[in-house]
Amino acid sequence: MSRLSRLRDELRVKPGSKVDLSKVDPADEHGWTKDDAEVETAQQLERLSDLQDRFWAEAKRSVLVVLQGIDAAGKDGTIGKVMEAFNPQGCVVASFKVPTPEELAHDYLWRIHKKVPGKGEIGIFNRSHYEDVLVVRVHDIVPRAVWSGRYREINAFERHLTDNGTTIVKFFLYIDRDEQRQRFQERVDDPRKRWKFSMADLAERKLWDDYIAAFEEALSKTSTEYAPWYVIPANRNWMRNLAVSSILAEGIDDLKPAYPPAPADLPKDLKVE
């Protein structure tokens, strides 16, 4: 097993396992140094660019990347760094915030299904349908009997997508409480990042333990063979970038995307008048 394949296996949440995040070190480097990781990440980004080109040309399947994590975990940073490998023509990013009145008039998966990538596309969800077993649970927006049934519904939804040609790769970006505090402070101190900070972030921070419990149950109940979760140690951005880029590249490479063959009647020499 290669070093990257081993990393992928170590970070994958085994289906049926019970996740205990207190046993996961969000600063774990898994034997990598920063210099080595940055060199490898650059290679993985080149690999992703090549894979996406073939995937887009083939236009037979789609890939859905789900990014979840507590506030300041690095979802935007991951998109900015790792997804820069992709041609925007074939990569669509969707962000799910507070539901609109129209969205609230439908079932909670309605707005999600509308954003699922089409054939040949790689879709990135910045937050996702998992908000409906995370925020909804922590803030007691719906009764326990409602949100607890959604794990089964989400698994069925993802099974439906995979049965219809969508490969799903889910990343939980895991940081610790001290790292979150530091990142909040950096946002306040930096005029270019200050707009990202809200006093509501501090209110949410007080619910840290509730969110961790919600993440643990979601990861435990919805990591499946067809749509696995990966717990990414995200205290160090360089480690996060290496893990996400390599796991995603491996996943797309497993699909063996290929350029379509040229038409049989295509002449070797084009005579253009």
Would residue 165 be called left, alpha or beta, if left means φ above 0 and alpha means ψ between -120 and 50 degrees? left
For 53-92, how does the pLDDT look when each residue is reduced to its tens digit (9 = 90+)? 999 999 999 999 999 999 999 999 999 999 899 999 999 9
Enter the pTM of the model.
0.95
Q: SS3 sequence, 66-80?
A: EEEECCCCCHHHHHH
Task: Work out the angle at residue 30's Cα, subtended by the Cα atoms of residues 43 and 27, and round it to the nearest 5 degrees.
Answer: 105
Task: Pull the structure tokens for residue 130.
Answer: 């998992």
Provide the residue-wise pLDDT of the chain in tens; the chain has 273 residues: 799 999 999 999 999 999 999 999 999 999 999 999 999 999 999 999 999 999 999 999 999 999 999 999 999 999 999 989 999 999 999 999 889 999 999 999 999 999 999 999 999 999 999 999 999 999 999 999 999 999 999 999 999 999 999 999 999 999 999 999 999 999 999 999 889 898 989 999 999 999 999 999 999 999 999 999 999 999 999 999 999 999 999 999 999 999 998 888 888 887 766
How far, in Å, CA of 103 to CA of 98, rounded? Answer: 9
* Residue 183 amino acid letter: R
Structural domains of the chain sorted by starting position, each given as residue range(s) with its CATH number in brackets: 3-253 (3.40.50.300)
Radius of gyration in angstroms for the set of CA atoms belonging to the chain, rounded to a whole number: 20
216: closest CA among 248, 174, 167, 177? 174
The residue with tokens 């961790």 is 212
Task: Work out the angle at residue 263's Cα, subtended by the Cα atoms of residues 260 and 267, and round it to the nearest 5 degrees.
Answer: 130
For 213-229, how does the pLDDT look when each residue is reduced to its tens digit (9 = 90+)? 999 999 999 999 999 99
